[in-house]
Amino acid sequence: MTRVRIEDIGRHTGESIEIAGWLYNLRKSGKIAFPQVRDGSGLIQCVAVKAQLPEEKFEALKHLTQESSLIVRGKVRAEERAPGGYEMDVEDFDIVQRVAEEHPYPITPKDHGIDFLMDHRHLWIRSRRQHAVLRIRAEVIKAVRDFFDSNGFLLVDCPIFTPAACEGTTTLFEVDYFEDEKVYLTQSGQLYNEANAMAFGKVYCFGPTFRAEKSKTRRHLTEFWMVEPEMAYATLEDVKRVGEALVCFVVDRVLQNKRPELAVLERDLAKLEAIKPPFPRITYDAAVELLKKKGSEIEWGSDFGGTDETLISEEFDRPVIVEKYPQQIKAFYFESDPARPELALGADFLAPEGYGEIIGGGQRVHSLELLEKRLAEHNLPREAFEWYLDLRRFGAVPHAGFGMGIERVVTWICGIDHLRETIAFPRMLYRTKP
């Protein structure tokens, strides 16, 4: 008998086939049972009639426990009223493992608190809502790769063990390497990406990055995935142009391919359909003025907090690009604005609906003298950056790039409260288990 994935079951109406999965739910009334079976690709309601099964089999099915694994054989039938549009009339089945009654599956349809669900994350990912979020994540990642692969960027991945900081020394995770050597978990692939860009012109890396940030917010993970493009012969303008095109491409893909998942999450589609170019662009100066008008106590020269970002993004129905921040609040590698050297040629994209920064990037310092000065000002160990300085000795050109945080983007697209649900096993300030 042919084994079929539930997502493909529509192509087998009228046929007897086999599905292999887990018992999601069970309704019963005397002579008939309705086991709902999930197989990872979808959910289908089965119909088991007492008269058509051996007595002991029907009884076993009627008393089967949630999340027991089973293989069901039966005939597929179109059924308009059924959730997926099909039902299966059970002809036979085998139970693979029966969940014990005295130790039942811990997640039931009742409301569990978030801590309980997070402690059972290894089981929680079987539920419908988590499926929707994680499928959207996979679509976002595929879209990101397709976007760069089809626009002339070469995928060149960067190391995770690194000898130096990229984004400031306060958020570095230190690791004991061999023979008393210390290394750090990467905060960003950017510095290596710059070398790759000088070798290949346009590159991107995509992988996990780490921040030892003591922030317990709905926007911070200690381990998150970032995609980072880097371009030679490029400026801040290119960052804004490519970032805008990327975000539009990704949102569009999810709208095209993940409608059922967005429906499970009850996402307001009009909000996503509004994500079209051009994105509004404002300077840091203008953003500070805007915030003051809205009652914030921010002063020029300080960084935006989460609340400030929300206040700014409230003004727009699509991501807003905020550019030219004061150098003092940015990393050492930002090129200065020639017109106002106190400003960094950097840009952040703030998502609408209060989802905060999804992209950060800009133009890099390409003069050797200025970069040497910056390393000294930031107290960065010169030896660890010698190779990076080489990029300014051998064919230095203006270059630029950015990083987009996958979990931030998925949280926003899904319209959910907290980014902990956008990765299968989140790592946060107070959570490293399961």
Q: Applying CB under 5 A, which part among 7-15, 115-123, 294-302, 355-363 lies near Mg ion?
A: 355-363
Name residues contacting Mg ion, limited to 255-294 (CB under 5 A): none
Q: Is residue 332 at the binding interface for ligand 4AD, with CB under 6 A as the rule?
A: no
Distance CA 372, CA 107 (A): 56
Question: Before 352, cis peptide (omega within 30)?
Answer: no
| 89, 92, 119, 213: which one binds ligand 4AD (CB under 6 A) | 213
Q: Is residue 162 at the binding interface for ligand 4AD, with CB under 6 A as the rule?
A: no
| Alpha helices (runs of H) in 8-85, residue ranges in sequence order | 55-62
257 DSSP 8-state letter: H
Whose tokens are 């993970």? That residue is 221
Distance CA 416, CA 422 (A): 9
* DSSP string over 191-213: HHHHHHHHHHSEEEEEEEEE---
39 binds, among ligand 4AD, Mg ion, none (CB under 5 to 8 A by kind): none
Q: Is residue 422 at the binding interface for ligand 4AD, with CB under 6 A as the rule?
A: no
Q: Applying CB under 6 A, which part among 139-147, 291-299, 390-398, 401-409 lies near ligand 4AD?
A: 401-409
Residue 206 or 402: the one with the smaller Cβ distance to Mg ion is 402
| 42, 356, 360, 426: which one binds Mg ion (CB under 5 A) | 360
Q: Answer yes or no: are the C-beta atoms of 70 and 98 closer than 8 Å.
A: no
In the shown chain, the binding pattern of residues 185 to 204 toward ligand 4AD, with x for contact by CB under 6 A and - for none, equals ---x-x--------------
Q: Applying CB under 6 A, which part among 38-46, 129-137, 266-274, 356-364 lies near ligand 4AD?
A: 356-364
| 224, 304, 332, 385: which one binds ligand 4AD (CB under 6 A) | 224
Question: Before 381, cis peptide (omega within 30)?
Answer: no
Name residues contacting ligand 4AD, limited to 1-60 (CB under 6 A): none
| 139, 167, 238, 337: which one binds ligand 4AD (CB under 6 A) | 167
Q: Is residue 221 at the binding interface for ligand 4AD, with CB under 6 A as the rule?
A: yes
- Report the residue closest to Mg ion, judged by CB: 360
Distance CA 415, CA 222 (A): 21
- Smallest distance, Å, CB 73 to Mg ion? 54
Distance CA 302, CA 305 (A): 9
Residue 20 or 384: the one with the smaller Cβ distance to ligand 4AD is 384
- Smallest distance, Å, CB 224 to ligand 4AD? 4
Residue 116 or 387: the one with the smaller Cβ distance to ligand 4AD is 387
| Alpha helices (runs of H) in 258-393, residue ranges in sequence order | 259-264, 269-273, 284-293, 306-313, 368-377, 386-393
Q: Applying CB under 5 A, which part among 11-19, 276-284, 306-314, 360-368 lies near Mg ion?
A: 360-368
Q: Applying CB under 5 A, which part among 164-172, 249-257, 356-364, 394-402 lies near Mg ion?
A: 356-364
CA dihedral (184, 188, 192, 195) in degrees, to 10, reads -150
Distance CA 280, CA 55 (A): 68
- Smallest distance, Å, CB 60 to ligand 4AD? 47
Q: Is residue 308 at the binding interface for ligand 4AD, with CB under 6 A as the rule?
A: no
Q: Is residue 242 at the binding interface for ligand 4AD, with CB under 6 A as the rule?
A: no
Residues 6+ apart with CB under 8 A from 107: 117, 120, 123, 124, 126, 127
| 202, 220, 318, 399: which one binds ligand 4AD (CB under 6 A) | 220
**Chain centroid, CA 396 distance in Å:** 34
| 358, 365, 375, 414: which one binds ligand 4AD (CB under 6 A) | 358
- Smallest distance, Å, CB 362 to ligand 4AD? 7
| 261, 337, 357, 421: which one binds ligand 4AD (CB under 6 A) | 357
Residue 35 or 360: the one with the smaller Cβ distance to Mg ion is 360
Size of the site for ligand 4AD (CB under 6 A): 23
Angle at 331 between CA 366 and CA 234, to 5 degrees: 35
Residue 430 host element (H or E): none
Name residues contacting Mg ion, limited to 222-251 (CB under 5 A): none
Burial 384-404 (b: 16+ CB within 10 A, else e): ebeebeebbeeebebbbbbbb
User: How many CA atoms does the CB half-sphere of 148 hold within 13 Å?
Assistant: 24
The amino acid occupying position 397 is V
Whose tokens are 């510095």? That residue is 191
| Alpha helices (runs of H) in 300-429, residue ranges in sequence order | 306-313, 368-377, 386-393, 406-414
Q: Is residue 238 at the binding interface for ligand 4AD, with CB under 6 A as the rule?
A: no
Instruction: Give the interface with Mg ion as residue ranges (CB under 5 A).
Output: 360
Instruction: Give the interface with ligand 4AD as residue ranges (CB under 6 A).
Output: 166-167, 188, 190, 211, 213, 220-221, 224, 226, 228, 357-361, 401-405, 407-408
